Structure 1
Amino acid sequence: MTTRFSFSLTTTDGAARSGVIDTPRGQIRTPAFMPVGTAATVKAMLPESVAATGADILLGNTYHLMLRPGAERVARMGGLHRFMNWDRPILTDSGGFQVMSLAGLRKLTEAGVTFSSHVDGSKHFLSPETSMQIQALLGSDIVMAFDECPALPATDEAVAASMRLSMRWAQRSRDAFGDRPGHALFGIMQGGVTPELRAESAEALTGIGFDGYAVGGLAVGEGQEAMFGVLDYAPGLLPVDKPRYLMGVGKPDDIVGAVQRGIDMMDCVLPSRSGRTGQAWTPRGQVNIKNARHQDDPRPLDDSCTCPCCTGYSRAYLHHVFRAKEMISGMLLTWHNLHYYQQLMAGLRDAIATGRLDAFVAGFHAQRAQGDIDPL
């Protein structure tokens, strides 16, 4: 078993890449989708169920875990893996994005960010140093540098100032992370939708040197076209031999487009959040199980899907338990959505490995264009 963190690129197809990240807790097949386990749980799922969908790695949320139950408590319980009963790799975000979204409740300085907890109003301070300390207590395998992420649209001056602050914080994160064999630190590229600022950010990060690199500051309101516009060049500014992570993405067509443009890792709350609100993702697009058209439908969500939701339950049942506000509704739909996302990733990996990515993407879009199966 490896004692180090490493990334090996096995195949490329155009800009798309497939490979393997090796960690002491297991391998991560890329391109990889990471389910989000915000508060040490992927909502409505058992950890072993998440593993059964094909997930190699989960994401945990530094901001939420530091407020509740507290990073020191998690450390006393043996670290995040043991605490939540997940023995595969975990990536923790830095807390920066959540803190930045609290605009009215925070004060930003060069040193860091002072903010009020959304839980009980208590005051806290996060900086590159405290973020590294908290993530070390959690024991995550991949640690994210502490950065600031401005909401778009913003002026070029605001984006540039924010990016340069994030680069100074990236150096402080690197210094504070220290030498932790078997654990990795990822830097985060910023710069909005401006190529010159993205290039400046990439140069600063590669000068510092990280185990992987994230493309940050996207999926924050700029729209898919603008996001793809950045992804057409941004991944190519980063080292070829390190993983590239697009934070907070996304819908299935966002994921496919990002992989085509050279992204290796993604995360999003969408499959689990959608599951809890009666939305299912299938190869033919989105299904809203709330709709009355499903109430007498004996068919599964997707007759090609092998998840427990599709092999055991009808649309009529799923409609009923959602309407009745039964807990099993969110459980089944979340399992299905996570399974669908992991099947999509497996399909993308296989297509890249066999040089068929263009055909796979064309088939993906053609199937989605059909829309859901006709009502009975």
Structure 2
Amino acid sequence: MESTMQRLTHLFFILMITLVSSANASFHPLLDSDLNDLSVYANGTITMADGVIAHGNMQALTTITLATNGYVGGNIEAGTTATLSDNVYVDGYIEATTTATLGANVSVIGKVHTGTTATFAADLYVEGNIEAGSTITLEADAEVKGDVVAKTTVTIAAGSHIYQDVDAGTIATIAANVAIDGTLTSNSSKDPPPAPVVTSKESQITTVQAELKALVTDEELDFTTFGVNDESLVAGVYNSINYLTIAAGKTLTLDGNGMDGSWVFNIANNLSFGIDSKVVLLNVTDNSSILWNVLGETTAGLTSLGAGAEVRGHILSRGAIDGGAISLVAGIGDSCGGVFSASSTITFAASSIIGHQGCGPIDVPEPTTIWLLGLGLLIIAKRKQV
């Protein structure tokens, strides 16, 4: 299970090593933050259309909505409601501060925990517990490997199988032909855990964005001409004083020359990738990183991917992130990449992909180790300047 994602701290660790010789290094405030374990974060809603695949953990300050045939390769955490349509597979747990509503033939390889109601259509599979602050309703042929615990009522339809205990704070209504391997208790004194809570990550993201903007620029990109034709860039820090656009059908090649490197794009306003545009990697090592920093200084700071666009790296956007059908955001090597909206929503159209098969966590040095290594490199760099 992809329980945690390639961490943003790793990206800044690479940045520190890569950029320290020009005194651009900084010790990043996201260390030890739960933001590090996400590949999708929205300070508003997350909406994924039919067949969207998201490798990694997903969190929204408000609602998360997944259409049919979706896949999430990690956990789902919703600040209000989580709604999953039919045939969605979640390779982790689901937490919703208020309600969770799951369609038919949904599989969850973890627990489901809600602050109020949890409602499930037929043919549900849950590998962990189901815990709800009010009611739990299971339609026909549900299979739950853990406990079922509701503050008020539990209703279980025919053909279901509960492998552990069922605890209802008031009434348990159990249909015929339901198997409960554990103990069934009505008027139970067993309480579910407190409602899960999602806190805003806006300040963390905007702090990261400010630090990236403060890096010494290697090149200013002409926003009026860059991306109109195919482009190629070596590792470095690139700024655009307005927008940045890769035109439809055009390719931006990032050439690593076979060495570890980082690409940082500081974009003052909006970022857009046209239909079928691509960011491709040439001689880029697995330890490299790509960061798109969409600041929204005089606009909303929007990021858009046209249908079929393919982007590599992590996108940090002040405003909304919108992906067209069959669009792709992926990392480098084992990294899933990611999309983070500091103040708005994330929406991806049908059959889009975030991350790639097999991406996931890596070992990251402890903060003290990173700081000492960065300090040592900075001393070496300063000695070279003398």
- In the superposition, the TM-score normalised over structure 2's length comes to 0.28
**Highest RCO, 1 vs 2 (Cα 8 Å, sep ≥ 6):** 1
- Quick check: which one's helix share is greater? 1
- In the superposition, the TM-score normalised over structure 1's length comes to 0.28
- Quick check: which one's strand share is greater? 2
